[in-house]
């Protein structure tokens, strides 16, 4: 099984006046292809900082981050943006959809940056929306569909570029319990199909869906456990 993520001695410091705050201490972490990993921990544990580094939204102060064997730790902003568009799919708690364009246009958006022609990207977006059960909502605005459907649109948008890594940041935080169950069932299906998924969550029942749990405390890995087969 090939490695998707290799973190070696990753640390992140922030300067606050004359003080230096270490959001991450020294994190070593390896995630293989098709793993299903929950990053857990209390507020202030460093999990959001770690997610931003994994998603190439921020750079570590020290250490090395290899994504599919490529050192992305010190890339320029433009280079990081290119990596995000080709290798990483993001799913956020707040959906982050464009409110004034259709569901279909939202999912087509990432493909524009890959310079894929209109006909092909439309076909790819429709196929992915059908995959998440929204083939009948193509022309709806996000405001005209439910919260669970908006999260499905966000998942389709994240997957349409065929990323090697799917990052989900509290993806069910704004959903009711029944809709949460539907969305988690979809994540479970995606993992079963071979998708590598890393999910940040503070909810134990969400983390229990994942096959591995990495708990952070005070910017360091407190434990790293693989789920026992049931």
Strand partners, 226: 212
Q: What is the mean pLDDT of the chain?
A: 94
Question: pLDDT at position 65, please?
Answer: 97
Q: pLDDT above 70 covers what percent of the chain? A: 99
| Model pLDDT for residues 95-128, shown as the tens digit of each residue | 999 999 999 999 999 999 888 999 999 999 999 9
Q: What is the pTM of this model?
A: 0.92
- Residue 165 has, within 13 A of its CA and on its CB side, a CA count of 25
C-alpha to C-alpha distance for 142 and 155, rounded to whole angstroms: 13
What's the whole-number mean pLDDT along residues 39-62? 94
- What are all long-range contacts of 176-182, with beta carbons under 8 Å and residues at least 24 apart? 176/147, 179/146, 179/147, 179/148, 179/151, 180/206, 182/148
| Model pLDDT for residues 211-224, shown as the tens digit of each residue | 999 999 999 999 99
C-alpha to C-alpha distance for 186 and 180, rounded to whole angstroms: 10
Q: Helix, strand, or coil here: 173?
A: coil
Do 183 and 148 contact (CB within 8 A), yes or no? yes
| Model pLDDT for residues 4-17, shown as the tens digit of each residue | 999 999 999 999 88
Q: Torsion angle, CA of 82/59/159/163, rounded to 10 degrees?
A: 70
Question: pLDDT at position 230, please?
Answer: 56
pLDDT surpassing 80 at residue 1? no
| Model pLDDT for residues 143-188, shown as the tens digit of each residue | 999 999 999 999 999 999 999 999 999 999 889 999 999 999 999 9
Do 138 and 104 contact (CB within 8 A), yes or no? yes
What's the whole-number mean pLDDT along residues 134-139? 96
Regarding beta strands 165-169 and 62-67, do their DSSP bridges make them parallel or antiparallel, or are they unpaired? unpaired
Record the tokens describing residue 60, joined without a space. 């570590």
Domains and CATH numbers, the chain: 35-59+76-226 (3.40.50.300)
Query: What interhelical angle do 118-131 and 147-159 show, nearest 10?
Result: 130
The CA-atom distances, in angstroms, between 16 and each of 20, 21, 27, 99, 189 are 6, 7, 22, 36, 43
């Amino acid at each position: 099984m090939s490695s998707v993520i290799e973190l070696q001695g990753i640390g992140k410091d922030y300067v606050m006046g004359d003080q230096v705050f270490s959001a991450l201490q020294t994190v070593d972490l390896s995630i293989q292809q098709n793993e299903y990993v929950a990053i857990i921990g209390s507020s202030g544990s460093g999990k959001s900082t770690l997610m931003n580094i994994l998603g190439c939204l921020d750079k570590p102060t020290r250490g090395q981050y290899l994504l599919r064997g490529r050192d992305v730790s010190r890339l320029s902003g433009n280079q990081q943006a290119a990596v995000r568009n080709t290798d990483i799919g993001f799913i956020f708690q707040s959906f982050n959809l464009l409110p004034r364009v259709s569901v279909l246009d939202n999912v087509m958006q990432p493909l524009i940056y890959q310079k894929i022609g209109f006909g092909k990207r439309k076909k790819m977006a429709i196929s992915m929306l059908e995959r998440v059960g929204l083939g009948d909502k193509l022309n709806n605005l996000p405001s005209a569909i439910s919260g669970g459907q908006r999260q499905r649109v966000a998942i389709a948008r994240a997957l349409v570029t065929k990323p090697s890594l799917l990052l989900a940041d509290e993806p069910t935080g704004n959903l009711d319990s029944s809709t949460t169950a539907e969305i988690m069932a979809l994540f479970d299906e995606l993992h079963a199909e071979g998708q590598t998924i890393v999910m940040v969550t503070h909810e134990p029942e969400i983390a229990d869906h994942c096959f591995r749990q990495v708990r952070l405390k005070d910017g360091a890995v407190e434990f790293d456990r693989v789920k026992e087969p049931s």
